């Protein structure tokens, strides 16, 4: 299934990469990027695998096992849209 990134998710990826590269080094940043992209590819292949977020109609979430991030996304007939990639230490994602 096609995977699209919402503008917020694109900004999240850039922010995560910058922060990780600056604070943890390029090796960790590269590994994290690879892991996020592999998880997104898995979501594209199995879009119903994420659990539904009760507070947000139609939004699903997948937690990264190795890193403290959650990927929020929606599924339509022909595409998955990655909405947000959020660090788990942040307060819960609220409607904006």
Element (H, E) at 81: strand 79-87
Q: How high is the pLDDT of residue 94?
A: 58
d(CA 19, CA 29) in angstroms, rounded, equals 8
Please classify residue 36 by burial: count the beta carbons closer than 10 Å to its beta carbon, then call 0-12 exposed, 13-18 middle and 19+ buried: buried
Please indicate, yes or no, if residue 26 is contained in any of the structural domains: yes
Q: Which pair of tokens denotes residue 89?
A: 């230490």
Please indicate, yes or no, if residue 56 is contained in any of the structural domains: yes
Q: Count how many domains the chain has.
A: 1
Model pLDDT for residues 14-49, shown as the tens digit of each residue? 999 999 999 989 999 999 999 999 999 999 999 999
Residue-number span of the structural domain to which 55 is assigned: 2-87
56-92 burial string, b = 16+ CB within 10 Å, else e? Answer: eeebbbbebeebebbbbbbbeeeebbbbbbbeeeeee
Please indicate, yes or no, if residue 18 is contained in any of the structural domains: yes
Please indicate, yes or no, if residue 94 is contained in any of the structural domains: no
Please indicate, yes or no, if residue 66 is contained in any of the structural domains: yes
Please indicate, yes or no, if residue 93 is contained in any of the structural domains: no
Please indicate, yes or no, if residue 92 is contained in any of the structural domains: no
Q: Which pair of tokens denotes residue 50?
A: 């994420």
Domain containing residue 50: CATH number: 3.30.2310.20
For residue 8, what are the contacts with CB-CB under 8 A and spacing of at least 6? 83, 84
Please indicate, yes or no, if residue 44 is contained in any of the structural domains: yes
Q: How high is the pLDDT of residue 49?
A: 93
């Amino acid at each position: 299934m096609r995977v699209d990134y919402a503008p917020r998710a694109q900004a999240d990826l850039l922010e995560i990469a910058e922060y990780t590269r600056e604070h943890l080094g390029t090796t960790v940043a590269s590994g994290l990027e690879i892991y996020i992209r592999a998880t997104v590819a898995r979501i594209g292949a199995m879009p119903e695998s994420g659990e539904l977020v009760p507070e947000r109609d139609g939004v699903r979430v997948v937690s990264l096992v190795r890193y403290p991030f959650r990927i929020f996304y929606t599924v339509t007939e022909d595409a998955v849209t990655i909405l947000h990639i959020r660090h788990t230490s942040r307060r819960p994602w609220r409607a904006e």
